[in-house]
Amino acid sequence: MAEGLREEVRRRYAEAAQQAEPGCGCGPSCCEPDGFGAARYEPQVLAEVPEAAALASLGCGNPIAVAELREGETVLDLGSGGGIDVILSARRVGPTGKAYGLDMTEEMLELARRNAAEAGVGNVEFLRGYIEDVPLAGASVDVVISNCVINLSTDKPRVVAEMFRVLRPGGRIGISDVVAADELAPEQRAERGSYVGCIAGALSFAEYRTELERAGFVDVRVEPTHEVADGMYGAIVRARKPAG
């Protein structure tokens, strides 16, 4: 079942990459319900990235605003898609910093590399792989970001453990994700939307906090920003790896 869902997600995002063509009047975000896509970014932020990067955005927030990036930091974007958040991160960490993008979909990686080249950012690197098995060394990044991707994983404890592993001591996460109201059972979440549509696989607020704390994160905050379905919310997720 897990492999079947992963392949369904891969196909969905491969199609989204192919649809993200500037000038067509519609990208994948046009077909998303309210609360998703490039509309979650301010116009002045979208002006920093190529049109194709914005068209390929399928997220539920703006993790760059959440992460509060600083010059010289190393950032990892889990599920980087068309590269919008990697490009924005690269600009904010500057030439002394670096932004990695990790995605399992070759079509998205190709699109992201073209977008980064068009944007003129050189301090980026896109990696092919799974968010449950990050191809980076432990304690190698300062910040992990993600935009509406962790809810798509069928092994969320592994994803959280990988975030903790790759972060340096004192490092932090700044994530946008879909989160369910605590009173909604998994079957009720599935009634509100599909797994590939970022709804059925969402954790509840309490479950998200529990998973992060179990992995060792501290200062955990999971806060709703907007409703995307009945009892389902776009949310910002912040936490920190202890410095000790």
- 144-203 pLDDT, tens digit per residue, is 999 989 988 989 999 999 999 999 999 999 999 999 999 999 888 888 765 555 676 899
102: its two tokens: 């990790």
Q: Report H helices in the chain.
A: 2-19, 43-46, 51-55, 63-67, 84-93, 106-119, 156-166, 186-191, 205-215
Taken in order of first residue, the domains within the chain and their CATH numbers are 2-240 (3.40.50.150)
Mean pLDDT of each 10-residue bin along the chain, 244 residues long: 61 59 42 57 81 75 89 96 93 97 92 94 96 97 95 93 98 95 90 65 94 98 92 94 93
Q: Going by C-beta distance under 8 Å and a sequence separation of 6 or more, which residues neighbour residue 198? A: 36, 58, 60, 148, 151, 152, 178, 228
